[in-house]
Amino acid sequence: MQVVGPFIATIGWLGLALIVSELAATLIYDVGQWVGFRLIGARVVAIVGFRYQLCKVDGHWKFQRPLTAYPHLVAMPAADPRRFNHALYCFGGGLFNLLAVVLSLVTMLQFTWSFNLWLFIFIIWVWTNTLKVGQLLPMNLHGRATAAREFRAARESNAAMTAAYVTACAQALKMQTGSVAGLDANMIVMPRHGGNQNYLVVRQAFLILEWGLQHGLTTPDLLAGLSRLEPSFNTLPPADLARYMTATLYWNLYSEHPAPQIIGWAQDTGVQQLLKRYEPLANFKLRAVYEWQVNQQPQRALELIATGMKYARRSNATAELVWLKALKVRVET
């Protein structure tokens, strides 16, 4: 029993060190992002945490609780595209964490360390910052493209760089208003020679469909546009794939086009897990339309719609709320 007490105390201190290190490393990352944004004239419009976020809506900062989130800042780029420095936009946070790791290791070399609790705490601190430095590697991290992968994709062509700027503006606008309907119409132009293998260009193509849908795009044109994205599915980060897959499944089922391939995707366990993880809010309307059209369970569909509307209001997702209301009307009639 004399050994158990100190052991539990040590585990407690290490757990506390892990929590504090993660919060501090996240703060360093956010500060780095903020500095990078300020240097290119971008305005921070949202501070996103692990499950909560502060978002600037109608000039006021509002507390929101989305279904899923990961720590980062969202910024509206400057109105002049020439000020958009994509390197600073991508790498500010990761570089600050890299600086923290380097300074920590240099500091470590100035002391003689014994094998004790403080050494483990120091290792935890370096480890948590190193995870943030992972944004500087060209890979997917937790299903989302890292800063380095995004930067590399944008450098492939002028079309990809344009797509990076336009989609960054759209992301910030959607965070503030819940939709992309207010995006400048001049941005809703598909750049030439973009190719369908660059996921930033594919992201802009989907943005054009999303914008068009909120401005009266007809269903046949929407479905045709979504079908043109399908050949690119295997090139996308999982988080992007979830968005496009959700839209493809939902609008085909909503418009009463339940092709065998659509039904097969909707019933696939891997697809269901992907959508539940990365698009939990949109997944409510997808499950609702599936219950309505395929399982012939309108009451269950209405229950899912009600739950989705509750979460949409909580996260200020106005476009999602509009689509859920439209689906509710169709199910009830």
Percent of the chain's residues with pLDDT above 70:
95
Q: Using alpha carbons, select from 209, 230, 205 the residue that is nearest to residue 218.
A: 209
Specify the pLDDT at position 18. 87
**Using one digit for the tens of pLDDT, what is the confidence trace for 226-277?**
888 888 888 889 999 999 999 999 999 998 888 888 899 999 999 999 999 9
Q: What are phi and psi of 44, to 5 degrees?
A: -70, 125
Distance CA 11, CA 17 (A): 10
Encoded tokens for 52: 């909560």
d(CA 231, CA 234): 7
pTM: 0.88
Upper half-sphere CA count for residue 96 (Cβ side, 13 Å): 17
Sequence-distant contacts of 320-323: CB under 8 A, at least 24 apart: 320/178, 320/281, 320/282, 320/285, 321/178, 322/179, 323/285
Query: What letter does residue 68 receive in the DSSP assignment?
Result: S
Nearest Cα residue to 56 out of 47, 43, 45, 44: 45
Rounded Cα distance, 201 and 271, in Å: 23
pLDDT tens sequence across 7-30: 566 677 778 888 899 999 999 999
56-97 confidence digits (pLDDT tens): 888 889 888 888 788 899 999 999 999 999 999 999 999 999
Contact 294, 260 (CB under 8 A): no
The pLDDT confidence band at residue 191, using thresholds 50, 70 and 90, is low
Environment class of 243 (CB within 10 Å of its CB; exposed 0-12, middle 13-18, buried 19+): middle
**Dist. CA 90–CA 41, nearest whole Å:** 14
- Residue 193: the pLDDT is 63
Q: For 125-171, what is each residue's pLDDT tens digit?
A: 999 999 999 999 998 888 899 999 999 999 998 889 999 999 999 99
| Rounded distance between C-alpha atoms, residue 233 and residue 193, angstroms | 19
